[in-house]
């Protein structure tokens, strides 16, 4: 792979594509004049970098890019006609397996990566899988690229990407649901929305920091509070008795099933 490849993002003005595009620019992984993105109706996310090239079609992007990231919706992929035989292809799409990507692009050098919505603020967790044809220097570059928007790990089986699509790709929505349940309860108790929201969001991020920095597993923290015999113990026991774990596991099973269901 040449030292400074031109990067193209099909869907680079979308939710996830723009988050990645902006973070590679912010981290200097590619220079603005080495980035090409397709335009979209949803807006232009690169005002701060006027040298970024915006093109109106995937065909025009493919003319300019050495490495192509595909970040359209799974059901939109079918409308693309891509001839990328010699190119490294990085798909961010859920539901579209390597076999379909290889058939549609003609490339054997394919990476399936699964960032999440927190990429927009540099806090995604991004697992990725590469086909054996992706060289080790390219893997290093892909890792640096994906790590611009948060921690990133290579996994050795494509099936893990399908599962992690549900666990971490969809993941930010699940603590958001918990946060919403906590906030709406607080408001029924007369807590102002401002205090409820700040309290809940800082409690969730504080709990994550506590477990990360003290290297405490979530199971250990739960166990410690179950043994403590205080108010937290009462709250945890009531949630567990109401089927909290079963509800979470059913949700993950449903998301995993959806991730395995290719639209083609
Ligand atoms: N949004 C998220 O939290 C996550 C999304 N993903 C995956 O990322 C991919 C993109 O998702 P989002 O960014 O959420 O969707 P989005 O709808 O915000 O972005 C898709 C973009 O693709 C563009 N597009 C569609 N068809 C095109 C075509 N033929 N040529 C050029 N551009 C085209 C659209 O104009 C749009 O800007 C999806 O496949 C999704 O599964 C993966 C993990 C998390
Ligand atoms: O919900 C979705 O389909 C996308 C893929 C993973 C996260 N968001």
Convert the pLDDT of each residue in 210-245 to its tens digit. Answer: 999 999 999 999 999 999 999 999 999 999 999 999
Interface confidence, given as ipTM, is 0.99
C-beta of 94 in contact with ligand 2 (< 6 A)? yes
Phi, psi (rounded to 5 degrees) for 252: -65, -40
The pLDDT-based confidence of 41 (bands split at 50, 70, 90) is low
Which protein residue's CA is at the shortest distance from atom 2 of ligand 2? 170
21 lines ligand 2 (CB under 6 A): no
At 263, the pLDDT band (50, 70, 90 cuts) reads: confident
Please state, in angstroms and rounded to a whole number, the distance separating the CA atoms of residues 111 and 183.
39
**Amino acid 2: pLDDT:** 55
How far, in Å, is the centroid of ligand 1 from the Cα of 23? 16
Flag whether 13 is marked binding: yes
Q: What is the CATH number of domain 173-260?
A: 1.10.3730
Residue 9: predicted pLDDT: 98
Mutate which of 14, 165, 175, 177 for ligand 2 pocket (most atoms within 8 A of beta carbon): 165
The protein residue whose alpha carbon is closest to atom 4 in ligand 2 is: 170
Closest by CA to 63, choosing from 12, 8, 111, is: 8
Determine whether the annotation assigns residue 14 to a binding site.
yes
At residue 108, the pLDDT reads: 97
For residue 52, how far is the Cα from the chain centroid? 23
Backbone angles phi, psi at 112, to 5 degrees: -105, 115
In angstroms and rounded to an integer, the radius of gyration of the C-alpha atoms of the chain is 21
pLDDT surpasses 90 at 192: yes
String of DSSP letters for 106-132: --S-EEEE---GGGGGT---EEEEE-T
Residue 43 reports pLDDT greater than 90: no
List the domain boundaries for the chain.
Answer: 7-161, 173-260
- Ligand nearest, relative to CA of residue 15: 1
Is 16 among the annotated ligand-binding positions? yes
Report the atom number in ligand 1 closest to the C-alpha of 116: 44
What would the pLDDT profile of 107-143 be if each residue is shown by its tens digit?
A: 999 999 999 999 999 999 999 999 999 999 999 999 9
Supply 155's token pair: 């996994």
Atom of ligand 1 nearest to the CA of 79: 29
Q: Is 7-161 in CATH node 2.170.190.11? A: no
Cα of 79 vs centre of ligand 2, distance in Å, is: 19
**What pairs with residue 70 in β-bridges?**
10, 91
Whole-angstrom Cα distance, residue 263 to residue 76? Answer: 10
């Amino acid at each position: 792979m040449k030292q400074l490849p031109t990067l193209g993002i099909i869907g680079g003005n979308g939710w996830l594509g723009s988050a990645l595009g902006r973070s590679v620019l912010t981290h200097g992984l590619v220079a603005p004049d080495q980035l090409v993105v397709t335009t979209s109706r949803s807006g232009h996310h690169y005002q701060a970098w006027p040298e970024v090239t915006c093109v109106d079609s995937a065909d025009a992007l493919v003319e300019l890019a050495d490495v192509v990231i595909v970040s359209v919706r799974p059901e939109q992929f079918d409308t693309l006609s891509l001839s990328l035989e010699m190119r490294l292809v990085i798909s961010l799409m859920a539901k579209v397996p390597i076999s379909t990507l290889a058939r549609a692009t003609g490339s054997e050098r394919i990476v399936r990566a699964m960032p999440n919505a927190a990429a927009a603020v540099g806090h995604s967790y991004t697992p990725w899988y590469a086909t054996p044809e992706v060289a080790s220097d390219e893997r290093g570059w892909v890792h640096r690229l994906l790590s611009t928007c948060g921690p990133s790990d290579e996994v050795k089986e494509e099936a893990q990407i399908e599962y992690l699509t549900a666990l971490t790709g969809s993941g930010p929505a699940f603590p958001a649901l918990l946060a919403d349940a906590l906030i709406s309860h607080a408001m029924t108790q007369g807590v102002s929305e401002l205090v409820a929201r700040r309290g809940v969001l800082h409690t969730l991020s504080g709990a994550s920091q506590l477990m990360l920095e003290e290297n405490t597993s979530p199971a250990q923290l739960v166990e410690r509070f179950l043994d403590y015999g205080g108010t937290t113990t009462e709250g945890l026991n009531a949630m567990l008795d109401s089927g909290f774990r079963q509800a979470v596991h059913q949700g993950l099973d449903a998301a995993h099933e959806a991730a395995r269901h290719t639209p083609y």
